């Protein structure tokens, strides 16, 4: 196989060539020649794989299927190798004239692969008999037009075939990369593609308007490009589809509420929870621990759990009425509950430390350089990286009245301080000690 060794060496040198030194004419010519060379190389690989598979060499000598062995030895993905093996089998067994045309450069390996993918025992004879016409058509039309004609011919010839699969051709591939990102690829038929495209684009338009409003508020918030808006739109569509119905305030689908008295633990009905059961429940991510007073009335949950309780979510809905970032129109149903003093840094899950933010503005608040603090009425204020000051909103601009405000101690601040109570719970502080950006010696709460 001296020719293969020579081809590999010349290909290696070609891949390492500095094309920046070539002229425009040379680059155009090289693009065409390399495409033709790729087609010939793929055809040669298909022939070799088909011969190996026919002989059963990889199974006999290595105990592996042909595709698995080739993927291991070459470090390439199985999918393309499987496609070349399938095409090699079809060229070997059904399409001799197509193989000759491929080796002569009249058609490309992509043409041969389309035929191989469409053949089945019911129509082998029909497609084999039409090889000359299929080759001539490939030389006189674009690849996409030729492919449509071949697919139509195969469907027409397969009159006795199974009922067409209505989902055929719809594929979605998700693959994790080494840096933790997710590659998304696939293809959709015309009907499914139109629905999904319109839904994503409609949501992307909404996000564009929201980003534009934010940019008008502060130049620190740039408007993302369209491709980024589409990615965010897909996430938002999925997130809202998995959430509650509009107009409701449902919590997670499965919840366990644990009521903690002075020393005892019980369920909401007052039934004691054995220590063993409590240990098991503690592993549940939807576990709620509610602190109650001597009358059994639920109070703030402190640092016992990260997520807000149902009662707290209702109180926040009454107080905030939606996203509190200025100019945002996101309803309360789709808002997160942001800890002004970060929970993982000791912040309690108390009403005076929770603010309603949509997912986008929740992310904005956590960006480097952004700070947030609350005033005496628990109304949020932001400072942007460039120093702009933004005052939050309630009920999309309408400030909550006193009777709609949760019953909290005035001037209470949720932040680390030296006057912390038992178990690190902050004591109420006076308004003069609140974390305000303008207060002397005080820093705004960092998110």
Q: Are residues 266 and 231 in the same domain?
A: no
pLDDT tier at 436, thresholds 50, 70, 90: very low
Asked whether residue 406 carries a pLDDT value surpassing 70, the answer given is no
What whole-number percentage of the chain has pLDDT above 90?
Answer: 33
Q: Are residues 139 and 217 in the same domain?
A: no
Q: Are residues 33 and 98 in the same domain?
A: yes
Query: Which residue range forms the structural domain that includes residue 51?
Result: 29-157
289 in any annotated domain = yes
Cα separation of 391 and 17, whole Å? Answer: 58
Beta-sheet pairing, 171-176 with 182-187? antiparallel
Q: Are residues 263 and 405 in the same domain?
A: yes
Q: Are 409 and 428 in contact, with CB atoms under 8 Å apart?
A: yes
| pLDDT higher at 351 or 146 | 146
Rounded to an integer, the average pLDDT of 333-347 is: 80
Among the listed residues 197, 188, 187, 183, the one whose alpha carbon sits nearest the alpha carbon of residue 230: 197
Cα separation of 83 and 45, whole Å? Answer: 11
Q: Are residues 274 and 134 in the same domain?
A: no
Q: Are residues 38 and 124 in the same domain?
A: yes
Domain boundary among 134, 157, 180: 157
Q: Are residues 278 and 381 in the same domain?
A: yes
52 in any annotated domain = yes
129 in any annotated domain = yes
Asked whether residue 53 carries a pLDDT value surpassing 90, the answer given is yes
pLDDT tier at 430, thresholds 50, 70, 90: very low
Q: Are 314 and 354 in contact, with CB atoms under 8 Å apart?
A: no
Q: Are residues 283 and 376 in the same domain?
A: yes
Cα separation of 400 and 320, whole Å? Answer: 7
251 in any annotated domain = no
Q: How many CA atoms lie less than 13 Å away from 370 in the CB half-sphere?
A: 19
445 in any annotated domain = no
pLDDT tier at 220, thresholds 50, 70, 90: confident
- Rounded to the nearest integer, the mean pLDDT of the chain is 76
Rounded to an integer, the average pLDDT of 144-154 is: 90
Q: Are residues 231 and 361 in the same domain?
A: no
Residues paired with residue 135 on neighbouring β-strands, in sequence order = none
Could you give the C-alpha distances from 90 to 26, 50, 120, 124, 127, in angstroms and in order?
Answer: 36, 9, 10, 10, 11
Cα separation of 57 and 64, whole Å? Answer: 9
Give the count of domains, the chain: 3
Rounded to an integer, the average pLDDT of 48-77 is: 93
Q: Are residues 236 and 285 in the same domain?
A: no
| pLDDT higher at 122 or 243 | 122
Residues paired with residue 389 on neighbouring β-strands, in sequence order = 383
Asked whether residue 16 carries a pLDDT value surpassing 70, the answer given is yes
Asked whether residue 280 carries a pLDDT value surpassing 60, the answer given is no
Q: Are residues 119 and 41 in the same domain?
A: yes
16 in any annotated domain = no
Asked whether residue 285 carries a pLDDT value surpassing 50, the answer given is no
Name the token pair of 416: 């680390």
Helix axes 226-241, 190-217, angle to 10 degrees: 110
Q: Are residues 193 and 294 in the same domain?
A: no
Q: What is the pLDDT of residue 24?
A: 93
124-128, 324-328, 410-414 — which is least confidently predicted? 410-414
| pLDDT higher at 2 or 242 | 242
374 in any annotated domain = yes
43 in any annotated domain = yes
Name the token pair of 335: 């808002």
Domain boundary among 116, 139, 157: 157
pLDDT tier at 128, thresholds 50, 70, 90: very high
pLDDT tier at 26, thresholds 50, 70, 90: very high
Name the token pair of 405: 């405000």
**CA dihedral (442, 321, 354, 428) positive or negative:** positive
């Amino acid at each position: 196989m001296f020719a293969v060794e020579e081809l590999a060496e010349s290909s290696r040198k070609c891949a390492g060539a500095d094309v920046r030194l070539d002229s425009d004419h040379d680059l155009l010519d090289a693009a065409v020649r390399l495409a033709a060379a790729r087609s010939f190389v793929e055809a040669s690989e298909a022939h070799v794989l088909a011969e190996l598979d026919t002989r059963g060499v990889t199974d006999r000598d290595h105990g592996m299927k042909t595709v698995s062995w080739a993927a291991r030895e070459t470090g390439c993905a199985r999918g393309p190798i499987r496609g070349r093996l399938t095409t090699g089998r079809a060229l070997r067994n059904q399409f001799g004239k197509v193989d000759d045309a491929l080796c002569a450069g009249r058609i490309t390996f992509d043409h041969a692969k389309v035929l191989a993918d469409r053949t089945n025992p019911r129509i082998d004879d029909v497609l084999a008999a039409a090889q000359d016409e299929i080759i001539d058509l490939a030389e006189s039309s674009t690849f996409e037009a030729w492919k449509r004609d071949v697919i139509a011919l195969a469907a027409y010839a397969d009159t006795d075939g199974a009922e067409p699969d209505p989902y055929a051709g719809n594929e979605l591939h998700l693959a994790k990369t080494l840096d933790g990102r997710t590659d998304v690829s696939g293809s959709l038929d015309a009907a499914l593609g139109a629905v999904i495209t319109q839904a994503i684009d409609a949501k992307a338009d909404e996000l564009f308007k929201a980003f534009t409003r934010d940019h008008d508020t502060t130049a620190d918030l740039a408007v993302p490009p369209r491709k980024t808006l589409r990615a965010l739109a897909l996430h938002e569509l999925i997130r809202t589809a998995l959430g509650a119905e509009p107009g409701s305030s449902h919590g997670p689908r499965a919840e366990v509420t644990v009521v903690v008295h002075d020393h005892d633990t019980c369920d909401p009905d007052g039934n004691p929870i054995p220590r063993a059961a409590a240990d098991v429940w503690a592993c549940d991510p939807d576990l709620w621990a509610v602190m109650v007073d001597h009358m059994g009335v639920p109070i703030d949950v402190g640092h016992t759990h990260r997520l807000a309780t149902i009662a707290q979510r209702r109180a926040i809905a009454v107080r905030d009425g939606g996203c509190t970032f200025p100019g945002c129109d996101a309803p309360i149903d789709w808002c997160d509950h942001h800890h002004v003093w970060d929970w993982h840094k000791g912040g309690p899950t108390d009403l005076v430390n929770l603010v309603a933010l949509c997912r986008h503005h929740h992310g904005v608040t956590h960006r480097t350089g952004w700070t947030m603090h609350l005033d005496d009425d628990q109304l949020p204020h932001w400072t942007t990286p460039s120093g702009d000051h933004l005052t939050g909103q309630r009920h999309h601009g309408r400030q909550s009245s006193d009777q709609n405000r949760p019953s909290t101690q005035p001037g209470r601040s949720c932040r680390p301080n030296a006057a912390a109570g038992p178990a690190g719970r902050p004591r109420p502080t006076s308004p003069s000690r609140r974390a305000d950006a303008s207060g002397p010696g005080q820093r705004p709460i960092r998110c």
